[in-house]
Structure 1
């Protein structure tokens, strides 16, 4: 699994952090997503896919 983030699309909603805090965080100054783990372990797959689905700006793309 590999994750791609489009920071230009991110609106700082924070749903990704709530769904997968081991993989996503937010910048303090503007709330834009920070990718903590570009290729997280497979056991985090369900949370990562949920984060992508919950993203209001569709800024998260998950491969695999």
Structure 2
């Protein structure tokens, strides 16, 4: 599944540079995660780096997008082939 930044985000800027897929960007009010690019860091790290650095724990599994680890790995492989 992709991750989601909740409206509790304080715009601290620490998550965006941690994303190896470039899935995080500044939205109109808070940071946002592009679910088409989010692999929860599968293929790069053992844990989602944005979740690790978020000081207020406002990054959660996206409730509307469920993906298995295998699906996330295939997404990672597709994204890696595009770059």
Return 5+ residue gaps in structure 1 as ranges: none
Partner of 1:17: 16
Q: Which runs of 4+ in 1 moved over 4 A?
A: none
TM-aligned CA deviation for residue 10 of structure 1: 0.1
Matched, 1:43 2:52: no
Question: How much is the aligned-residue C-alpha RMSD, in angstroms?
Answer: 2.9
- Higher RCO by CA contacts (8 Å cutoff, separation 6 or greater): 1
Which has more strand, going by share of residues? 1
Return 5+ residue gaps in structure 2 as ranges: 63-68, 70-83
Give 3-state SS (helix, strand or coil) of 1:18's partner.
Answer: helix
- Give the total of aligned pairs: 60
Name the CA distance, whole Å, in 2 between partners of 1:34 and 1:62.
13
After TM superposition, the score normalised by the length of structure 1 is 0.65
Structure number with larger C-alpha Rg = 2
